[in-house]
Each structure stands twice: as C-alpha cells, then as structure tokens.
Amino acid sequence: MRDKSVKNWSEGKAFLVAICASGTALAVMFGVATVVRNGQSAISIPAFATSAQAAMKPPELTVDATQGRHLFLMNCAHCHGDDARGDEGPDLHDLHRSDARIHEVITAGIKGEMPSFGKKLGDPDVQHLIAYLRTLHG
C-alpha cells in the first residue's frame, strides 16, 4: 500500500537529481583529494618534525631530495610510513643497497610484497626518490 503523503518528488525526476547529486559528491571528493594532495607537503613537514623518532631537526634537503620526498609521500608513505620508519613495508633508513638495486626495486617491485612503480614513475622521479632515501639516516 502506497503512502502518498510522504511522496515528495516524481520518481523519474528524483532519479535525475540523484544522478546529479552522486556526480557532484564524487567531484567534491576529488576536489578535496586535490586540496589534500596540494596541502600535503605543507602539513607533512610539521608532522615529520614532531614524530617521536624524528625529534631532531630534519636535515636540509637538496632540490632533488625535496622532490624525492614529495614523491615518497605520494607513492610510498602508505606502506613505509610518513617518516619512512616502516609500517606495512620496511624501514628505509640507512639502506645498504646500491642506487641501481634501489632503482630496480622501485621500478620492478618485489613479487608478492611491493608493487611496481615502473609505469608510474619515470627515471628522473626514481632518481629523486633515491636522492631522498640517501638522506635518511639514524
């Protein structure tokens, strides 16, 4: 039995509005994502500086390493942690691996453990990342 008193809109019109609403919601969230991404470098540095392990002031970074840090936060921090101290993935401080080996791991990944970034990151990006990883000590 239908209750006409609570029916406000025609179903067809409501359907069109619902499609617009869901599209708008998606667009808004993608906009939020862009804002979060752009604000990331601004908010991540204080977060890095205030973490317990990084009580010491972070070292000055070269231009390459700064770009590498940004790439790290965008691509690697999910698994290795914001401060690269390890989370799902291992701690990346004091890596005893050659640049070539690090390059290979980043681009090819590790089967079953780490995804490949070869398609997403170009050679200069990987070099920036390596430059950043080389600044991680202690």
Partner 1 sequence: MNSLFWERAHGGLTHLPIALIFAAGFFDALAFFCRRSSKLREFKAMGYWLVIIGGLGSFGAVFSGLVLSKGVIGGTGAVLRHHYFVWPAFTLIVGLATWRFLVGRDPSRRAFNLYLATMLIGCSLMGAAGFFGGEMLLGH
Contact, 59 vs 135, CB < 8 A?
A: yes
Q: How far is the CB of 99 from partner 1 (least distance, A)?
A: 22
Rounded Cα gap, residues 44 and 132, in angstroms: 15
Q: How far is the CB of 129 from partner 1 (least distance, A)?
A: 14
9 binds partner 1 (CB under 8 A): yes
Taking alpha carbons only, the member of 121, 125, 134 closest to residue 62 is 134
Rounded Cα gap, residues 128 and 111, in angstroms: 23
Q: Locate 56 and state its tokens.
A: 């010491």
- Residue 68 or residue 81: which is nearer to partner 1 going by CB? 81
Applying CB under 8 A, among 54, 64, 66, 82 the residue interacting with partner 1 is 82
**List of residues contacting partner 1 (CB under 8 A):** 1-3, 6-9, 11, 13-15, 17-19, 21-23, 25-26, 29-30, 32-38, 40, 44, 47, 51, 73-75, 77-79, 81-82, 87-88, 114-115, 117, 120
